[in-house]
Amino acid sequence: MNETATRVYAEIDLDAVRENVRALRELAPRSELMAVVKANAYGHGAVACAEAAREAGATWLGTATPDEALALRAAGVGGRILCWLWTPGGPWQQAVEADVDVSVSAMWALDEVREAARAAGRTARVQLKADTGLGRGGCQPADWAELVGAAVAAQAEGTVRVTGLWSHFACADEPGHPSIAPQLAAFRDMLAHAEKEGLEPEVRHIANSPATLTLPESHFDLVRCGLAVYGVSPAPELGTPAQLGLRPAMALKASVALVKEVPAGHGVSYGHHYVTERETRLALIPAGYADGIPRHASGRGPVLLGGRIRHAVGRVAMDQFVVDIGPEDPVRPGDEVVIFGDPERGEPSAEDWARAAQTIAYEIVTRIGTRVPRVYRNGRTATAE
Ligand SMILES: *Cc1c(COP(=O)(O)O)cnc(C)c1O
């Protein structure tokens, strides 16, 4: 692909993914690492990132939906895969046949997975998920004994093998938050009960990226890292990517589509929320909210253009937004604009856009749209998707 002729593209450096996985493994040296590649690897491309993470020593991959897990297998991705977001009637049998570990939070799910295992003529690998306080997925402590008992029985009948026991934090991105210690204590209690009943899981896990980065006692047998694998800081309070030993894998770049002079007093973009104060020049950036540029960052989102950080003026539209480059600047159509990338290179960060849009960096990278081509650097073979 000829990037200079490209309207907008997301450059994905797979070496950054590999380096980040290695850095995270060093932080959790006694644990395995699961690279979470749900939501198209947070917008970075699931298959390419899964393979890069595996090359760097991630022994597990994690997805939310079974379809995401099955798509990895269909692309030939090996290793262990856990998927956790199931609904009744889901593709349990395909998952069992594709050697995918499945998460179970409730009795209905265990019943469906046993039936699928019988139909497949295979033993399903199941991980029981505990709600230790998140209040979202997972089995409540009050229901844990029943679920564990049923899993022990299913294991005895041969339909199921319990490979993991796991949970998820509510506030790991706020180190010292008062919910963290009680969640860890509840997790230990729920593990102890399951092990007393005879379950011998391969992996016990609760740590996401922020817990991997800040809370060694949460590492157990495996850490589940998503955002940090892509080199983005889970929360500004935890530090910049570089301070965390990480490097952003994605740079969102575009080519300036138009540069023009306008008089003072000229309204810019829908609603005329910006009006030029002087005669100036406007640069048109051909990317908008259909590409994942948050409309909530209208008037604030930063870009690197012509060697300087500048800001979106006026509303971000579906396909384009505008930057006021001032009267003198030699910016020309076709010049590269970096919407976000690595702050160590002087580029705005995904965190900067998150602040501008009053959201989190997770959403900034994940929402980059399907209309934006991903261009891979440092793949085993050069690929464009
Ligand atoms: C998304 C997700 C993760 C990864 O979280 P990060 O903060 O991106 O590391 C881990 N576990 C579960 C259950 C998730 O849904």
The whole-number pLDDT of residue 63 equals 98
Closest CA to 139 of 162, 118, 122: 162
pLDDT for residue 382 is more than 70? no
270 carries an active-site annotation: yes
Task: Give me the mean pLDDT over the 142-163 stretch.
Answer: 98
Name the percent of the chain lying above pLDDT 90.
96
pLDDT one-digit tens code per residue, 87-136: 999 999 999 999 999 999 999 999 999 999 999 999 999 999 999 999 99
Q: Model confidence at 304, in pLDDT bands (50, 70, 90)?
A: very high
pLDDT for residue 225 is more than 80? yes
Mutate to test the pocket of ligand 1, among 36, 132, 136, 171 (most ligand atoms within 8 A of CB): 36
The whole-number pLDDT of residue 341 equals 98
The finding on whether 105 has its CB within 6 A of some atom of ligand 1 is no
Place of tokens 């909530």: 296
Q: Do domains 31-229 and 250-384 have the same CATH topology?
A: no
The whole-number pLDDT of residue 5 equals 65
Mutate to test the pocket of ligand 1, among 224, 232, 246, 360 (most ligand atoms within 8 A of CB): 224
Supply the residue whose CA is at minimum distance from atom 10 of ligand 1: 208
* Distance in Å, CA 316 to ligand 1 centroid: 30
Q: Model confidence at 1, in pLDDT bands (50, 70, 90)?
A: low
Record the tokens describing residue 122, joined without a space: 């295979």
Cα–Cα dist 363/234, whole Å: 11
The whole-number pLDDT of residue 314 equals 97
The finding on whether 246 has its CB within 6 A of some atom of ligand 1 is no
Q: Which of ligand 1's atoms lies nearest the C-alpha of 34?
A: 10
* Distance in Å, CA 378 to ligand 1 centroid: 25
Task: Give me the mean pLDDT over the 183-188 stretch.
Answer: 98
The whole-number pLDDT of residue 6 equals 85
**Residue 351 near residue 236 (C-beta atoms within 8 A):** yes
The finding on whether 168 has its CB within 6 A of some atom of ligand 1 is yes
Q: Where are the alpha helices (DSSP H) in the chain?
A: 14-27, 38-42, 46-55, 66-74, 92-97, 107-120, 141-157, 180-196, 209-214, 350-356, 361-366
Place of tokens 């046949």: 97
pLDDT for residue 4 is more than 90? no
* Distance in Å, CA 208 to ligand 1 centroid: 5
Q: Mean pLDDT across the chain, nearest whole number?
A: 96
Mutate to test the pocket of ligand 1, among 134, 208, 213, 214 (most ligand atoms within 8 A of CB): 208
* Distance in Å, CA 34 to ligand 1 centroid: 10
Q: How far out from the chain centre does Cα 39 lie?
A: 7
pLDDT for residue 275 is more than 60? yes
* Distance in Å, CA 258 to ligand 1 centroid: 40
pLDDT for residue 2 is more than 90? no
Supply the residue whose CA is at minimum distance from atom 4 of ligand 1: 226
pLDDT one-digit tens code per residue, 324-367: 999 988 999 999 999 999 999 999 999 999 999 999 999 999 99
More confident of the two residues 58 and 328:
58
The whole-number pLDDT of residue 384 equals 47
The whole-number pLDDT of residue 216 equals 98
Domain boundaries in the chain? Answer: 31-229, 250-384
pTM of the model: 0.96
Task: Give me the mean pLDDT over the 171-188 stretch.
Answer: 97
The whole-number pLDDT of residue 328 equals 87
Determine the CATH number of domain 31-229.
3.20.20.10
Which one of the listed residues 42, 253, 270, 274 is annotated catalytic?
A: 270
CATH class of the structural domain 250-384: mainly beta
